[in-house]
Chain A
Amino acid sequence: MSAIEALYIFDEHNATILEHVYRGRPPTASVLLPLYLSHPSPQPSLIYLPNTHPPTLVYSIIQDRLLFLSPSSAESEPLLALEFLHRVADALEDFLGSPLLASKIESSYDVVAQLLSEMCDGGLVSNTEPNALRDVVEAPNWVKGLLGGVGLPSSSPSLNPSSQTPFSLPRPSLPRAPSAATANPVPWRRANVRHTSNELYVDIVETLSITLAPSGRPLSALAFGTVAFTAKVSGVPDLILQLNAPGGILNTISLPVFHPCVRLGRWKEKPGELSFVPPDGRFVLAGYEADLLGDDHLASFTSTSSTSKSLASLNLPATPAVSVSLGPTGADFEVRLSISPRFQNKPSASTASSSSRGGLGSRSASAFSATGTTAHPHIEEVKVHIPLPAAVRTIADLRTSRGDAQYAPGDTGIEWRVAAKDVAALLASHHGGSVSASATLRGSVVGEEEEDEETAPSVSLEAGSRWEYDEDEGGGYQTSSSVEPAQQRNGNGKGEAEAEQRSKRRVALNRVLMPSSATVSFSVKGWLASGIKVDALMVDAKRSKGLGAGVTPYKGVKYLTVSRKGVEARC
């Protein structure tokens, strides 16, 4: 039960690049893949294949365009299998370098084989901690070369003077001191970490997930935050990271998730304070989410007056708005992209943005001086995506006021990119005003069958809108039944109303071809939607071990807010 039976990896062309069987005789990769692909896309992460022998469950994840599959012939915990696949992908990325490429795996099968046999033993997941894996499996040398040999104690022969000459033994396979491996007090941290330059980086990335109702008022506005931490510090450092937010940290973030290294008790005592002994290298320290609307926004739904205010308070860098069924035949639509002037890419800021990581003076550990980017966050990679119905044959007359839109007949949507210079120009033209600058995209849809509508049966389409149902009408039964439905049918479709009727029908037919939403993607450096800030990052000198006296690591903080089709406007 709950065993990993095998692991298969496929490249983007669905060619098998790795087959590793842990237990039993699961269906081979060549058997599984066609069955997996025959499932309608997008494939869910768990597919049941009753036609194999024995019936098989297939777990799948896709990372860096590589497809990871794991079959299971019996009941097992789906999340266990999926988490394992994720860990494998992470470990491979950690050892072979990011992004994970098929060629990288193919050129270092020996490392991959060691990793896979370490991570899962006979079907039971055993060791997935990247640092612990580093202790037992050595990364391919060329990756270490790329990493500059940081933090890999055994990689450079100078640290192991006892070994033979480097030429006779490419990889000095030193028996690690048993005490180091066994008495390691921190399971997630490698033993004997040594770095020449000690550095600590905090990257807080927030991913937006915002839904705007047709009226423009936000239905939901969530920011999913990730605190990524990079520790390149010798010894066993004990760190304290203090987060703060304008409205108090507990009011801002909710549902936090922590790396096992974080002391939960400390967080509960002093919210906002993360105390931990970091693993070596880069890892995800914590995850959280922030409801940008606050708790009481449901109350404001009914009162229309507060809607505009509520959107303004979100202070989004870019928002889309869609209006449809424009023009005489209702075939036109317009997407308006508004960009807040706050996120203007000023020339002065752009120079600072090249190194957007705000350097902290190594002496002033607690004083986080606002860097140029934090003061002038600017928006990048603005892209609007407009999904289109399958019935749309083509888009006629696609125009944008800024940027360029891409659409080819048969596409499932329009991609509208607004380059950085367009954003700058746009904001420059609207300078001074506090209102946001906006760009528009217009187009008109052309559907499949234009001529068919004449022969279509006469449909009184307005009947749907005319419908009024009053639930407490009890006595009107007699009178309402006296209206003969047949009269209605005979009555319409005659006279001068016919032309109007037809144009209405046209509008209604085109209505089906209208896009129903638009999403904006962008990234903003130096700004967090939730307003969270790193107050301080301290090395607890008393608790830390192995960090030389007087060594103060270099510290850096980076804020980034991204939206991957995350801001969505409906219509």
Chain B
Amino acid sequence: MLETARDLTLEAARDASYIRKTSTRPLPAAQLKKLLDSRTERDVLEGLRKVITMDYRNQPTLPFFTSVIKNVASPSLEVKKLVYIYLLHHAEAEPDTALLAINTIQKSLADSNPQVRALALRVMSGIRVPVISQIVSLGIKKGAGDMSPYVRRAAALAVPKCYALDPSTLPQLLEFLATLLGDKQYFVAGAAVAAFLEVCPDRIDLIHPHYRSLIRKLVDMDEWGQLATLRLMMVYARKCFPRRTRRVKKTIVSSTTNKLTTKTTKGFYDSDSDSPDSESSESYEKIQVLDPDLELLLKSASPLLQSRNSAVVIAVARCYLYLGTPAHLDAAIGPLISLLRSAADIQHIALYNIVQVCLARPQPFVSHYTHFLVRSTDAPHIWRLKLELLTLIFPHAPPRLQSLILAELSHFSRSSGSQDPGLVREAVRAIGRCAQSSATSPRTSARCLRLLLAHIGSADAHLVAESLEVIRHLIQRDPDAHRTTVVRLAKHLDAATSAQARASIIWLVGEFAGVDPANNIAADVLRILAKGFADEAEAAKLQIVLLAAKVYVHYLDANPPPDPPQTQPKASPSLLDGLDDDSGFRDVEVPQQQKEPEKKDMYPIPALYHYILLLTRYDTSYDLRDRARVYRALLATPSSTQLASLLLLAPKPVPQTPSPSEARKGYTLGSASLVVGDEGGVGGLRGYSDLPPWVAEGQEPDARLRDEVVSSSRDYEPMASRSQTASERLDSAVSAVPTSAYSRSPAGDTGLAPKKASANGVKEKSLDDWLAEDEESEETETESEEEESTEEEETESEEESEEEGEGDRLVKSS
């Protein structure tokens, strides 16, 4: 006890002096050199510390290179470590001198201490001097067969470095990798998988024999090994397990599986009822049949959902999303939400991924809505995603929650106080998205509209403009239902002060100028606006001119000049098709009613139009003058309005306001491209590759390849428990039977994949097909959406082939 106390005191005294010394200014070079050349280890250490410190302070240390390297032969591990660190930093600058050290390092590979061996291997492979590639390769070979797993791991990690040094060593390296992948020590195998992904991610033939053992080790690996393995297995599974589906009668399903599964299966991958090929069998439902090996992967991954590492949780969710069944994915929802508890930086990335999963499967997120409520302390990039999540779950929420979400959104759209204008804008847009979603009831939709309309009188120009924008979208989606809304908006022109808002309203009035000609207010509005034309802002003036032109075209259409009789009225309804869906309405009603106005207001509309044109002629804005000129030229001859109506009354496409993240939907969950979006270039960032499509049935590698070869795995594993491998063998022999419940996985065997293996109804589909169908059925969009998705498919496949080439290049150059 006393002894200890004394030692401690001595130590403390020494440390105190050490602190004082390091805080002094850097030593003169000669003195430092003397320290490095000293015989006492203590001085050498002191000198090395100084050198390392200088290194990190960006002071030149190359003059000491030889002095430092000399110490590589020091017996002290401490000295060795520091010399190695120095060597790694500077070997490139002095390759010849660095080579002098190689010999000593090579000797260390035979040291009795595994830590020294591992260190030596790490450093040797890290020295970026290409001539030594063969020596490194030899070192790896030695290390791969080492007794200590630490050295074997170092060997695994050295493989990519050696490959980068000299790609021609690949054949040997692959040999080592194949050995290391089968290592019984989980942290060796994890490192080997990471190395495999770096060197030759396409050589999945190397994985076959180790697939099952890797999967079994998954739970015990460290987080980084788990990440690498999950990434590898996702690609592997896509390439090796064809997607088999089975049609099952719904009643049968509900009896074999629990209720939850049937319910959830329906929403996600369902292709029934909407897809053309299954219309005949509405009571049938497709169920994914999992390969037993794939099921093993999905099952073994489930304990990782409780990992403290957010990347692992996302990786498991990614596996479930792209490989598993909806039931699997549901299990990952909670853990995904739990990521929102972590630090703000992780929360941000996690939100992107949650949005991505939510786009595919919103229902299970509904119960977690409290996590998506925006807090005043949230940064813009956080609340933006939270608002999006709220709108995504909105259609699936129970009515009470819907009203809560709307209240929430309207709270943020009220431009009171300290709120970011951006937040106000996003909230208004979010309300618009809520109103547009197909699942929203008309009442809720009307409520959304009411919320938006309430903003028009606001003093905040941004808010008004944004609200009107959204209102316009809502109206355009369903023009017939909103005629009165337009009228009311027009009445509101007085309240609206912002030019943008006025412009929006005027444009809407113009769009509706042709609807219901008998009662149209467009001309009236034009008349009133003409009075105050001079006081309007330019944006509004532009719209007034446009309105005048539209009203005039409609007038001309309705009252064709006498010279060319009866041709125009026929043409115009066809051109107006998209504007008002019930063109029959016009056909029937117009001829009767147009007689009246023809006689009465022969003059006001042309007069108004010409008056406006006259006003613009003397406006200061050249843009306005130019436009007026265009309209004048267009409508110069009242007899031919065809071109004018083509230009002015063209049917506007219904605006689509998809969720902002819809654009990123194609990117893989958990990737950086998903966060960066299309900003990183079309097809993702450099090095991004899409998931491979499911392998076609019949083209997958033989499942027997995955049966473990006992003899080979025994060679490298001195402590292998033979009983285990034997049982494994037994397992693989009866691979038709599902592998008995994995010890740690929950008992929730959903029974989704009992091997009834009935071949009928098995239909292969690529994931793209599935997603495309999914979109169709879930969102019931217009045809344009469908076209888009097929286009996407095409481009995706093209990109893939391109990217493969790129990937090759990458590996070689790095």
Partner of A57, one of B40, B161, B672, B744: B672
**C-alpha gap A318/B67 in the complex (Å):** 65
Within A36-88, which residues are at the interface with B (CB < 8 Å)? 42, 44-46, 48, 50, 54-55, 57, 60-62, 72-80, 82-83, 86
List residues of chain B with CB within 8 A of the CB of A73. Answer: 686
**C-alpha gap A75/B400 in the complex (Å):** 42
Given contacts A166-B7, A387-B418, A471-B442, contact A45 B379 (CB under 8 A): no
- Contact of B12 with A481 in the complex, beta carbons under 8 Å: no
Contact with A along B441-477 (1 / 0, CB 8 A): 0100010011001111111100000000000000000
List residues of chain A with CB within 8 A of the CB of B679. Answer: 48, 50
Is B626 close to A, CB under 8 A? Answer: no
Partner of B524, one of A62, A476, A481: A481
Query: Which chain B residue lies CB-closest to A132?
Result: B222
Is B416 close to A, CB under 8 A? Answer: yes
- Contact of B15 with A145 in the complex, beta carbons under 8 Å: yes
**C-alpha gap A255/B339 in the complex (Å):** 10
- Contact of A157 with B7 in the complex, beta carbons under 8 Å: yes
- Contact of A469 with B375 in the complex, beta carbons under 8 Å: no
List residues of chain A with CB within 8 A of the CB of B381. Answer: 44
Is B107 close to A, CB under 8 A? Answer: no
List residues of chain A with CB within 8 A of the CB of B531. Answer: 486
The smallest C-beta distance from A326 to any residue of chain B, in angstroms, reads: 14
The prevalent SS among residues of A at the interface is: mixed
The smallest C-beta distance from A247 to any residue of chain B, in angstroms, reads: 18
The smallest C-beta distance from B382 to any residue of chain A, in angstroms, reads: 9
Max chain B Cβ within 10 angstroms of own Cβ: one of A23, A123, A257: A257
List residues of chain B with CB within 8 A of the CB of A157. Answer: 7, 11
List residues of chain A with CB within 8 A of the CB of B670. Answer: 77-79
- Contact of A79 with B488 in the complex, beta carbons under 8 Å: no
Contact with B along A167-195 (1 / 0, CB 8 A): 11111010110100110000100000000
**C-alpha gap A471/B453 in the complex (Å):** 12
Is B404 close to A, CB under 8 A? Answer: yes
The smallest C-beta distance from A24 to any residue of chain B, in angstroms, reads: 7
- Contact of A1 with B303 in the complex, beta carbons under 8 Å: no
Is B772 close to A, CB under 8 A? Answer: no
Is A502 close to B, CB under 8 A? Answer: no
List residues of chain B with CB within 8 A of the CB of A284. Answer: 308
Partner of B7, one of A158, A389, A471: A158
Given contacts A2-B231, A299-B400, A477-B519, contact A79 B350 (CB under 8 A): yes
**C-alpha gap A175/B672 in the complex (Å):** 42
- Contact of A45 with B483 in the complex, beta carbons under 8 Å: no
Contact with B along A1-21 (1 / 0, CB 8 A): 111000000000000011100
Interface-located stretch among A216-224, A369-377, A400-408, A535-543: A216-224
List residues of chain B with CB within 8 A of the CB of A169. Answer: 41-42, 76
- Contact of A464 with B458 in the complex, beta carbons under 8 Å: yes
- Contact of B343 with A110 in the complex, beta carbons under 8 Å: no
- Contact of A459 with B4 in the complex, beta carbons under 8 Å: no
List residues of chain B with CB within 8 A of the CB of A462. Answer: 457
> Number of A residues whose C-beta is below 8 Å from B?
147
Within A201-222, which residues are at the interface with B (CB < 8 Å)? 209, 211, 213-214, 219-222
Given contacts A129-B222, A222-B370, A459-B459, contact A121 B154 (CB under 8 A): yes
- Contact of B153 with A126 in the complex, beta carbons under 8 Å: yes
**C-alpha gap A121/B680 in the complex (Å):** 28
- Contact of B488 with A516 in the complex, beta carbons under 8 Å: no
The smallest C-beta distance from B223 to any residue of chain A, in angstroms, reads: 7
List residues of chain B with CB within 8 A of the CB of A304. Answer: none
Max chain A Cβ within 10 angstroms of own Cβ: one of B307, B349, B398, B689: B349
Partner of B375, one of A23, A61, A471, A568: A568
List residues of chain B with CB within 8 A of the CB of A106. Answer: 53
Given contacts A24-B814, A182-B150, A471-B449, contact A45 B349 (CB under 8 A): yes
- Contact of B113 with A1 in the complex, beta carbons under 8 Å: no
List residues of chain A with CB within 8 A of the CB of B685. Answer: 48, 55, 57, 74-75
Within A127-167, which residues are at the interface with B (CB < 8 Å)? 127-129, 136, 138, 140-142, 144-145, 149, 155-158, 166-167
**C-alpha gap A107/B460 in the complex (Å):** 55
List residues of chain A with CB within 8 A of the CB of B417. Answer: 324, 388-389, 511-516
Query: Which chain A residue lies CB-closest to B9?
Result: A145
The smallest C-beta distance from B271 to any residue of chain A, in angstroms, reads: 31
List residues of chain B with CB within 8 A of the CB of A145. Answer: 8, 11-12, 15
Query: Which chain B residue lies CB-closest to A85?
Result: B345
- Contact of B400 with A298 in the complex, beta carbons under 8 Å: yes
Interface-located stretch among A237-245, A259-267, A421-429: A259-267
The smallest C-beta distance from B60 to any residue of chain A, in angstroms, reads: 15
Partner of A74, one of B309, B343, B460, B686: B686
- Contact of A78 with B672 in the complex, beta carbons under 8 Å: yes
- Contact of A124 with B528 in the complex, beta carbons under 8 Å: no
Partner of A460, one of B85, B454, B495: B495
- Contact of B376 with A519 in the complex, beta carbons under 8 Å: yes
Given contacts A79-B349, A461-B459, contact A48 B11 (CB under 8 A): no
List residues of chain A with CB within 8 A of the CB of B195. Answer: 124
Is A113 close to B, CB under 8 A? Answer: yes
- Contact of A156 with B8 in the complex, beta carbons under 8 Å: yes
Given contacts A46-B349, A110-B48, A460-B495, contact A124 B191 (CB under 8 A): yes
Interface-located stretch among B330-338, B701-709, B793-801: B330-338
Question: What interface size band does chain B fall in?
Answer: 35 or more
- Contact of B115 with A176 in the complex, beta carbons under 8 Å: yes
Is B563 close to A, CB under 8 A? Answer: no
List residues of chain A with CB within 8 A of the CB of B425. Answer: none
Within B397-414, which residues are at the interface with A (CB < 8 Å)? 398, 400-401, 403-404, 407-408, 411
Partner of B227, one of A2, A126, A141: A2
Partner of B78, one of A3, A44, A171, A514: A171
**C-alpha gap A221/B115 in the complex (Å):** 50
Is B492 close to A, CB under 8 A? Answer: yes
List residues of chain A with CB within 8 A of the CB of B541. Answer: none
Partner of A126, one of B15, B157, B308: B157
Is B684 close to A, CB under 8 A? Answer: yes
- Contact of B187 with A83 in the complex, beta carbons under 8 Å: no
- Contact of A79 with B455 in the complex, beta carbons under 8 Å: no
Is A497 close to B, CB under 8 A? Answer: no
Is A570 close to B, CB under 8 A? Answer: yes
Partner of A45, one of B22, B42, B112, B345: B345
List residues of chain B with CB within 8 A of the CB of A309. Answer: none
Is A397 close to B, CB under 8 A? Answer: no
List residues of chain B with CB within 8 A of the CB of A24. Answer: 814
Contact with A along B336-371 (1 / 0, CB 8 A): 011001011110111000000000000000000011
The smallest C-beta distance from B61 to any residue of chain A, in angstroms, reads: 12
List residues of chain A with CB within 8 A of the CB of B56. Answer: 17-19, 109, 112-113
Is B82 close to A, CB under 8 A? Answer: yes
List residues of chain A with CB within 8 A of the CB of B12. Answer: 145
**C-alpha gap A44/B746 in the complex (Å):** 37
**C-alpha gap A18/B542 in the complex (Å):** 58
- Contact of B15 with A141 in the complex, beta carbons under 8 Å: yes
List residues of chain A with CB within 8 A of the CB of B323. Answer: none
Max chain A Cβ within 10 angstroms of own Cβ: one of B309, B442, B456, B497: B309
14 pairs from A and B in contact (CB 8 Å cutoff): A1-B198, A18-B56, A23-B164, A45-B349, A46-B672, A78-B349, A124-B195, A124-B198, A187-B222, A219-B404, A459-B457, A469-B453, A485-B528, A513-B417
Give residues in A with beta carbon < 8 Å to B. Answer: 1-3, 17-19, 23-24, 42, 44-46, 48, 50, 54-55, 57, 60-62, 72-80, 82-83, 86, 106-110, 112-114, 117, 121-129, 136, 138, 140-142, 144-145, 149, 155-158, 166-171, 173, 175-176, 178, 181-182, 187, 209, 211, 213-214, 219-222, 224, 254-260, 264-265, 268, 284, 287, 289, 291, 293, 298-299, 301-302, 324, 387-390, 412-413, 457, 459-465, 467, 469, 471, 473-474, 476-478, 480-481, 483-486, 488-489, 508-509, 511-517, 519, 565, 568, 570
Q: Which 4 A-B pairs have the closest CB atoms?
A: A464-B457, A74-B687, A45-B345, A220-B370
